Amino acid sequence: DSGVTQTPKHLITATGQRVTLRCSPRSGDLSVYWYQQSLDQGLQFLIQYYNGEERAKGNILERFSAQQFPDLHSELNLSSLELGDSALYFCASSRRDPDTQYFGPGTRLTVL
């Protein structure tokens, strides 16, 4: 157990819908990262927050947004969902930036 929690574990929704994925970092970690992993693919970096501020942006679509709250938990919002958005979404956290990233168990999103 890495200490990073993600909810929900599974999410099934329809095209055009909007969902919110939640991540709680390890105690004491200030940085949160979001990644997308499609079937049999590598990890694609989406976005990073550090102590509430956006720190780095990767290949995140305009339909996707994220934020980190004062208690350091983070949410990833996915809207106008398409079939191709079906993937495993990981959250990771680290104490500093840069530093070792510890991953949560992921949220498996299925868009039908």
Considering only the stretches 15-23, 60-68, 71-79, 85-93, report the one whose residues sit in contact with another protein under the rule CB under 8 A. Answer: 85-93
Among 43, 52, 61, 73, binds another protein (CB under 8 A): 43
Q: What are phi and psi of 98, to 5 degrees?
A: -85, 165
Q: For residue 81, what is the enclosing H or E element?
A: none
Q: What are phi and psi of 78, to 5 degrees?
A: -120, 125
Residue 56 contacts another protein per CB under 8 A: yes
Token pair of 15, please?
Answer: 């095209």
- What is the binding site for another protein (CB under 8 A)? 33, 35, 37, 41-43, 45, 48, 56, 58, 88, 90, 92, 98-103, 105-106
